[in-house]
Chains A and B, each alone.
Chain A
Amino acid sequence: MKERSVTVSNRLGLHARAAARMVRRASQFNSSVELLREDTGETADGKSILSVLLLAASRGTTLIIKTEGEDEERAISALAELVEQKFGEELSDGVF
């Protein structure tokens, strides 16, 4: 299992569009993806939009990403990168 701590730094936090990108990216991997809010201890299934949204992680929230499975290494890098790059929000990168 891989674990990495990231801080949500985009303006709107993990709102619908950012959450959607997170879930899309997470779903590309076979590994399970869990998100943990460091402050509250709440967890979410990274592949479930409804569960990610319920985290209500706003700007400045620290999240611990946990991945487990054959491609856990690639998954955690991709997801950490997504958060660090502010979900591509400030760019029109055409993730979808």
Chain B
Amino acid sequence: MASSSVTRSRDVKLQGVPASPGIAVGRVLRLDERGRHQFYYIGVSATQARLEVRRLREALQEARAQLKEIKTRLAKELGYEHSFILDAHLLMLEDPRLIEELEHDIRTRRVNAEWAVRSVTDRAIDAYKQVTDLYLRERTSDLEDVATRILTILSGHDKFDLTKLDEDVIIVAKNIWPSTVAELDFKRVLGFATNSGGLTSHSAIIARSLGIPAVVGLHDVTRLAKTGNILIIDGTEGCVILRPTKPVLSLYTAKRKRDASRRRLPAAEIAQAAETTDGVRMTLRANVELPTEIESLALFGAEGVGLYRSEFLFLTRLPELPGEDEQYEVYSKLAASTGEAGANIRVFDLGGDKLTLEGFEAEQNPALGLRAIRLSLKAEHVFRTQLRAILRANLHGRLRVVLPLISTINELREAKRIIADVKQELAETRVEHRADLPIGVMIEVPAAALMADVFAREADFLSVGTNDLIQYILAVDRANENVAHLYQPLHPAILRTIAHLVRTAESQQVPLEVCGEMAADPLQAIALIGLGVRTLSLAPASIPLVKNAIRSVELARVRSLMKDAMRLTSSGEVEELLARELPRQAPRFFAAWSSRA
């Protein structure tokens, strides 16, 4: 590891966006840009660079020897003609240009051999992707194969296995990709620190749902923190401290202990109802992304699942699609474990800032592009496969579907037509399923919010997705740290929209649920119930905290407080009002809670 002045300096404090509260102290594990192949960037000295070049040459030689052996065996078993592709691989390993570039990278950029192999082959792969000849574009897989072989030899084991980490780590990355997150060994992950991302980026959402501290939007934490360094994450303050000195370290270790004891809740409290002091009962459901989270629902006292983000099934394996049976397994588990309380499956919300299906190109303006229900209706076979799996799994419990990003009534009607068609197909082919499947519309687009009465007449329930609704009403990209401050859940425009939705749902007599990050923040959750919302769906780990907040307030007083709030002119004024009034109304919870910040 380099011994530059940057490495030696202690107590390097970086300020970012607090994404998930709590304190973590541990060693850094830095993931590469794609978070897939696990070898780290390590800066090296000139002397070490020479050693890295030698390692590279040895690895190339070993790779050639392996390939020659395979080729001989293949030629013997299948005949000479079939071994030619290995010749191409062998020639790549001998390619003078490639080797020159690799060695040049190590020497001039002073990086470890693994990093050079990854970046040089990535560049070559990019060059191949520019070629219009389809056959040649496919050669990128040969190159990827060769790169993997070299990397495997360099790292000395088959594949760095993120699902089995051998020590506790803090993940440092430019961005945490959903695919990486889904593969992580969570028992070993103490926290996340990332360069980019805002409060509602996926890394932040997942960190909160797992109850691990995270700070995002740190700009250059990947440049400063190296694998093995000690790092402190303060997810409450939104800062990280790199290579802490002893006094700072012991200060935070003590802080972490206090913090942990505050977060722990006795089992009795978890079993209590989310009831206000004046006896109105709220329903707290869970937002779930990973199948592994299903098991922890009872632990947090969730009443079923209000939002299952089904696209996470995809994100670990794109562009390959999970088959019907595989989806059926996961949905069955979801149905069986939620029982009477039930689970809402949001159909694939792909596209946009999430990855998209094969055959669909990246777009100029993905937030307004082909995503969510628009993509499902376009890639109907994918939608149908998912619906078949849901209808079959529905036998094991009470599932409901939620259609994301609906903006016109035609989309709802078209989706309903397809659902009816799939039911008929299942019935005709005598596939066991349960056809009683309520259909909900996700209110995320301002047009849908304004037209909620129309949707309420044709849907079984409304689900308000606050993350996207806020993004579209306020025209703020939630993951862009330059405008993250404009992402204001308590903006009066948002409050008025939600109040309108509550009134509409009541007059049309359809159930309404609110899911999204707003519901996970105690102050904002109280604002929501004050606006008349009765069912909230939030990250499981946040349920106990929000429940305590609800149990500390009187609904009648909160309702009149929110009436005042809606007449205010800005988010800042609303926050001020709530921060002043709630500790007065509910000192048991809010006095302690606000002094924490």
Contact = CB atoms under 8 A, between A and B. Distances in A.
Interface of A: 12, 15-17, 19-20, 23-24, 27, 45, 47-51, 53-54, 56, 58, 92, 94, 96
Nearest to A14: B136
Contacts of A48: 95-98
* Top 5 A-B pairs, shortest CB-CB distance: A48-B97, A49-B91, A56-B133, A16-B88, A20-B87
B480 to A, nearest CB: 36
A17 B84 contact: yes
Contacts of A51: 95, 97
Contact of B88 (A17, A58, A92): A17
B136 A53 contact: yes
Given A45-B97, A48-B97, A96-B84, A54 B128 contact: yes
A27 B131 CA distance: 25
B97 A16 contact: no
B127 interface: yes
Main secondary structure of the interface of A (DSSP, over half): helix
Interface in B401-448: none
Of B128, B132, B136, B139, chain A has the most CB atoms within 10 Å of the CB of: B136
Nearest to B100: A48
Interface of B: 80-81, 84-85, 87-88, 91-92, 94-98, 124, 127-128, 131-133, 135-136, 139, 142-143
With a 10 A CB-CB cut-off, give which of B80, B87, B91, B139 has the most chain A CB atoms.
Answer: B91
A79 B563 CA distance: 85
Nearest to B137: A56
Contacts of B136: 15, 53-54, 56
B95 A49 contact: yes
13 contacts: A16-B84, A16-B85, A16-B142, A17-B87, A19-B88, A45-B96, A45-B97, A47-B96, A50-B95, A50-B143, A53-B139, A92-B80, A96-B87
A50 B133 CA distance: 15
Contacts of A20: 84, 87-88, 91
Contacts of B135: 12, 15
B528 to A, nearest CB: 57
A56 B96 CA distance: 19
A69 to B, nearest CB: 14
A58 B84 CA distance: 19
Nearest to B87: A20
A17 to B, nearest CB: 5
A19 B88 CA distance: 8
Nearest to A51: B97
A70 B426 CA distance: 75
A12 B92 CA distance: 20
B102 to A, nearest CB: 12
Contacts of B133: 56, 58
B128 A23 contact: no
Given A17-B84, A20-B84, A20-B87, A50 B131 contact: no
Contact of A50 (B85, B87, B98): B98
A24 B127 CA distance: 23
A23 to B, nearest CB: 5
B160 to A, nearest CB: 26
A51 B127 CA distance: 10
Contacts of A12: 135
B98 A92 contact: no
A48 B93 CA distance: 10
A16 B139 contact: yes
Contacts of B131: 54, 56
Nearest to A96: B87
A89 to B, nearest CB: 11
Nearest to A56: B133
B89 to A, nearest CB: 9
Contact of A94 (B80, B132, B139, B143): B80
Contacts of A23: 91
B567 to A, nearest CB: 65
A45 B133 CA distance: 20
Contacts of A24: 87, 91
